[in-house]
Amino acid sequence: MRALSSNLRLFWQGTLLSYRALFHWLRPAQYVASKVFMPLAQMFFFVFLGTFATSAANAGFYIIGNAIQITAVSGIFGVTMSVGGERETGTLPYLFGTPANRLVTFFGRAFMHILDGMLGVVIAFAWGVILLGLDLSRTDLAALALTIAVTTVSTCGLGLLMGCLSLITVNVMFVNNFVYFLLLIFSGANVPIAELPNWMQAISYALPLTRGIAAARSLVGGASLADVAPLLWTELGVGLVYGLIGYVLFSWFEFIAKRRGTLEVF
């Protein structure tokens, strides 16, 4: 019981402090610019491009896809920088020097970004309804909320893996940006998965977001939670697999770095 409460405290403090540390420059304007305005401008761009490519009747396809995709801002950039930032700010040796439970420490880095990512998606949907006329009248809103939560968790799983990789690469932002933009193609946010070549479809289904976006589109189209449950379970499973691979790598990098004395070597 004592170990459990200790780990819970560690999880909570770790998650809160790493989030605050990530936004040590936090000013309301900067937060709004990076986490609200930028993703929304990106969403509007792809919605206008998509409706120009097809027709205004297809706006919903692009609004939903890009609104859900916004979770990758927190899931990829936020989580990666939370983990990778430990090395950049010189706190990695202290982190690895503590006896703290590594599983709790590792997954704690993603928790606040899950909440933050969900908030971003909700804001995007709100703008979609208010400014772009997205119709949610047939939508099971509770199921949509669950879909947003599952997709955000799943994307943060990939973020944890990317964060782990950022411990062994100098070009963190290159890798982050690359993955983020590739998700715009592979997740089906803007191009229907069926239109992609087979090898790209295989990659799409191995990534988070793909099934989450498909589930959200079905729900907005009037499907029930039971209809999309298989998609959500698989989406969650994909995210957990990425998170676990990230954790295994995190433990392995710690072991190797300690053995070779390369904790802070770039």
Partner 1 sequence: MNVRTLLKYWRTILIVAEMTIRQQLMDGFIIFTVLFQPIIIALLALWMLKGKGPDYAIFVVVGSGLTGLWSSLLFISGNSINAERWSGTLEPLVAIPTPFEVIIFGKNLANVIQSLLSMVLGYIVAAFFFGYDLTIVQPWYFAVSLIISIFAFISFGLIIAPVFVMNPGVRAWQNAMEFPVYLLCGFLFPIALLPGWTTPISYLLPPYWAAVALHGATTVGTAPSEIFFAWGMMVLFSLIDLLVASRLFKLMLYKARADATLGME
Residues of this chain that interact with partner 1 (CB under 8 A) are: 27, 29-30, 33-34, 37-38, 41-42, 44-46, 48-54, 170-171, 173-174, 177-178, 181-182, 184-185, 190-191, 195-196
Cβ–Cβ under 8 Å, residues 90 and 21: no
CB 154, min distance to partner 1, A: 22
CB 117, min distance to partner 1, A: 16
Q: How far apart are CA 54 and CA 66, in angstroms?
A: 16
CB 169, min distance to partner 1, A: 9
Cβ–Cβ under 8 Å, residues 231 and 225: no
- For partner 1, which is the closer residue by CB, 119 or 146? 119
Q: How far apart are CA 261 and CA 148, in angstroms?
A: 41
- For partner 1, which is the closer residue by CB, 152 or 190? 190
- For partner 1, which is the closer residue by CB, 54 or 224? 54
What six digits make up the tokens of 181? 């933009």
CB 152, min distance to partner 1, A: 20
Cβ–Cβ under 8 Å, residues 219 and 150: no
- For partner 1, which is the closer residue by CB, 13 or 30? 30
Cβ–Cβ under 8 Å, residues 179 and 157: no
